[in-house]
Amino acid sequence: MKTTTLVPALAFAALSMASAATPTPAPASSPSAAANAERMKWFDDARFGMFIHWGVYAVPAGEWQGKPVNGIGEWIMKNGRIPVKDYRAFAKDFTAANYDPAAWAKLAHDAGMRYIVITSKHHDGFALYDSKVTDWDVMNSGANRDLLAPLAAAARAQGLKFGLYYSQAQDWNHPGGGKAGGNKSWDPAQDGDYDAYLAKIALPQVKEIVAAYQPDILWWDTPTEMTHERVKPFAEFMATHPAIINNNRLGSGFAGDTKTPEQNIPPRGYPGERFEVCMTMNDTWGYKKNDHNWKSVRQILRNLSDISSKGGNFLLNVGPTPDGVIPPESVERLQAVGRWMDVNGEAIHGTQAGPFPRRLPWGRVTQRQNADGSQTLYVHVWDWPEDRRVVLPTVTVAPKSARWLAGGDTTTKIVPEGLEISLPENPLDPDVSVARLDFAAPVKVTQEPFITPGADGRVAFGALDADAHGHYDGNIQTRGSGTDVYLTDWKNAKWSLEYRFQAPTAGTWELSAEVAAPDPTSLTLEANKVPQTVTVPATGPGLTWKIVPLGKINLPAGETGFTLKGLPEGWKPLSVRHVWLTPVKTP
């Protein structure tokens, strides 16, 4: 879905409901653009927030009738095809007996988060507040009290903004609400008219939560079946609350303020557009007692660093238990992140995307444009090179000062490749060390956005030059460090690697790659919209690297590229380290 910089509800209201056209953004200098920038300023400065998935699904915690149910915890009703009556019986054990909203808000604040978004109603239709349009809410559960108001108050007492997730398009308990996305009911109690559900449950509940809690964010979800006509009453209501920030998941024609990549970081971000990456700490959003696949503190910090370097926000999830306890694994990780943010938070909060259009082999960069015209670059060093130096490519001006946020000055010098920064013998932080460089004026970066051919005409791509396109539940991972960086964990044939470069002329290229393939497998190679099947032989056990030919492709001049995608039939995972294009000389 395409976002715009217009106030989303007002922009939608201006659309003809017979048209699917996207509203045109206001010019950057227009009063409406300036007002919108001011409205979004807190969000742009925040960079880091807490997502909370909490509801009746925490009671079964991933099991039904004594057996584990595959999939994420909050989808257990659908994935387990649990009848409405049986699912509703779980509500008595949703007690919130140990719920401490002040502790939750403090945990978020101390982790360096600047806002909280909690599920007011997820796809199971259960509301965490006293809804006047249904009895399927918290007042008919073991908790028997509003759970949103105390968290809103606690968050605001900590100086945090407060947002609400609302599943408008999908509801497996209220008749008609389960029709979204072509879903088929598994219980006659779910049968009903979808438009009646929207009119009698979804829209009234949105009005209830806006009136009761005055949220700073409305986080919509799963907009399938939400046509222009169905979105219209929601958009018209939101137009009366222009201060609320909306994501892009309400439905057709409603651009929202933010794109919402889920469980993966877009390789290049979305230059010129706001985005917010939402991600779990383990594999599930709602509490699932047997999910112990926790991300490391290092991975969380590097995700935050990566997302911030692309100008995005990071919405990191916790899934509390039915009695209201955030799992200790989540608490421990957030406390560790908080300790890092105490030292390095200025490299995240209030920063913009770094000036480098391509990824850097050793880490990431964020920047701050200061009111006096000066500029600060924050250099996030992930991997400590053996020669203890990192280079900011094409930067030809030395900073006024350079120091590590963890303490101590550093030295810089201009070298042919750019600005070299000297590193101490050991990292100042085991996960991400940050240096602050202050410049008298904005630095000029002349690095090209795309790879160009070398002197011999060949194009050489490393692992960091590939854009990995995955799915909400995973992605191809970058592993290794220094000069030995490779792409691995290619678990799903639907995932792909995209390579972009600047071709001087149209022509034919021979493609080869350095791969590690324990088993033979096949790829779809697509270039200039022409697909072809490529067979990759087994190279040996584990990471046994070999260079293999991948065929010939025809490409136009200018910005162009190609994609490698798994072939579902007989797919076997492989790893990729380098890819080369060699021009085919015509006779």
Q: Where in the chain is the domain with CATH 2.60.40.1180?
A: 354-439
Return phi, psi of residue 40, to 5°.
-90, 0
Q: Are 581 and 510 in contact (CB under 8 A)?
A: yes
Strand partners, 510: 552, 582
pLDDT of residue 471 exceeding 50, the answer is: yes
Query: pLDDT value at position 29?
Result: 53
48-52 and 115-121 strand pairing:
parallel
More confident residue, 334 or 183: 334
What topology is assigned to 459-583 in CATH? Jelly Rolls (2.60.120)
C-alpha span between 486 and 4 (Å, rounded): 35
C-alpha span between 297 and 339 (Å, rounded): 11
pLDDT tens-place string over residues 63-107:
999 999 999 999 999 999 999 999 999 999 999 999 999 999 999
Could you tell me the pLDDT band of residue 481, with boundaries at 50, 70 and 90? low
C-alpha span between 55 and 38 (Å, rounded): 34
Query: pLDDT value at position 26?
Result: 46
Q: What is the pTM for the complete model shown?
A: 0.87
Going by CATH, does the domain composed of 8-20+47-347 fall within 3.40.718.10?
A: no
Q: CA-based angle 239:244:245, to the nearest 5?
A: 110
Query: pLDDT value at position 126?
Result: 98
Composition of the chain by helix, strand, coil, percent to 5: 25, 30, 45
C-alpha span between 387 and 398 (Å, rounded): 20
Closest CA to 312 of 5, 52, 48: 48
Q: Where in the chain is the domain with CATH 2.60.120.260?
A: 459-583
Query: pLDDT value at position 23?
Result: 37
Q: Output the CATH code of domain 354-439.
A: 2.60.40.1180
Residue 517's identity, in one-letter code, is A
Chain Cα centroid distance, residue 576? 24
Closest CA to 257 of 17, 26, 40, 13: 40
Spatial strand order of the sheet with 401-404 comes to 352-353, 363-369, 375-381, 433-439, 401-404
Query: pLDDT value at position 61?
Result: 98
Indicate the average pLDDT of the chain.
91
Can you tell me whether residue 492 is helix, strand or coil? coil
Quick one: what percent of the chain has pLDDT higher than 70? Answer: 93
C-alpha span between 84 and 174 (Å, rounded): 9
Query: pLDDT value at position 482?
Result: 62
pLDDT tens-place string over residues 17-67:
333 333 334 445 556 888 889 999 999 999 999 999 999 999 999 999 999
Residue 27's identity, in one-letter code, is P
pLDDT of residue 152 exceeding 50, the answer is: yes
Q: Are 388 and 361 in contact (CB under 8 A)?
A: no
- Provide mean pLDDT across the span 158-170: 97
First to last CA, the chain: 46
Chain Cα centroid distance, residue 113? 16
Q: Are 24 and 254 in contact (CB under 8 A)?
A: no
Query: pLDDT value at position 341?
Result: 98
Could you tell me the pLDDT band of residue 359, with boundaries at 50, 70 and 90? confident
Q: Which two tokens stand for residue 187?
A: 């219980």
Q: Which two tokens stand for residue 445?
A: 């970066």
Most confident of 226-240, 452-466, 480-494: 226-240
pLDDT tens-place string over residues 266-320:
878 888 899 999 999 999 999 999 999 999 999 999 999 999 999 999 999 999 9
According to DSSP, residue 250 is labeled S
Cite the DSSP H helix spans in 80-130.
84-88, 101-110
Q: In the 3-class helix/strand/coil scheme, how is 33-71 assigned residue by residue?
A: HHHHHHHHHHHHHHCEEEEECCCHHHCCCCEECCEECCC
